[in-house]
Amino acid sequence: MTGDNRKQLDHSWHANAEGWTRAVRENLIESRQLATNGAIRDAVLAHCPQRVLDLGCGEGWLCRVLAERGVAVLGVDASEPLIEAAREADGDFLCLNYAQLQADPARLGRFDAVVCNFSLFEEQLEPLLATVRELLGHRGVLLIQTVHPWQARGAEGYRDGWRREDFAAFQGAFPEAMPWYFRTLESWCALLSRSGYRIEALREPAHPDSGEPLSLLLEVRP
């Protein structure tokens, strides 16, 4: 089942690339406009990095925002259609899946910050997180923004496990459902500890009116 989910996850980001690009560029995702885009942008800039890796960069919006502020950014994603869309809007991008990155991380050099903004959907993340340690320069920081576990628990309840996103709440064409692995807050903390990281900050970007958390934002270092 895990292997099937892995294949479908890859396939979904190819099939849904056009719909995702449109949703991001036309500001169709409310939570991103209300809080989560600004939260990850500000978290990165607070560290005054010179060089950043956006891991799972999608169509490249965060790369462009950081580049406008003078940061050298490399965007990496496994979806060729998303990388093509990113390159059309300018920037430095590579099409690499996580296995290819893990095989030769030295080719990318070192970074002051690595960002995983809603891009960690797999069950087995320890190998990737180990590779990220190699990519981080002295005092480098890893920033992870993901769905808020309590808000995203759904009908399956508050327990680890594979879920499916059908994008029904998103405007636009998303022809393929996306499998993703849900983690509780305890599970996120345990994963990072096992992978050799310590959590330096934990934030919960919230809806400006209701105060309900819209994401979980973790700042961690090796």
pLDDT tens across 56-99, in order? Answer: 999 999 999 999 999 999 999 999 999 999 999 989 999 999 99
| Rounded mean pLDDT, 118-129 | 97
How deeply is 162 buried, as exposed, middle or buried, from its count of CB atoms within 10 A (0-12, 13-18, 19+)?
A: middle
pLDDT for the residue 204: 98
Token match 């099937």: residue? 4
| Rounded mean pLDDT, 20-49 | 96
Q: What percent of the chain has pLDDT over 90?
A: 94
Domain ranges of the chain: 2-221
CATH 3.10.20.310 fits 2-221, yes or no: no
- For the CA atoms of 3, 167, 90, 69, what is the dihedral angle to 10 degrees? -100
pLDDT, tens digit, for every residue of 152-197?
999 999 999 999 999 988 877 899 999 999 999 999 999 999 999 9
pLDDT for the residue 168: 84
Q: Provide the mean pLDDT of the chain.
A: 96
Gyration radius (Cα) of the chain, Å: 16
Which of residues 114 and 173 earns the better pLDDT score? 114
Per-residue DSSP letter, 123: S
pLDDT for the residue 83: 98
Per-residue DSSP letter, 216: E
Dihedral sign, Cα of residue 78, residue 81, residue 87, residue 89: negative
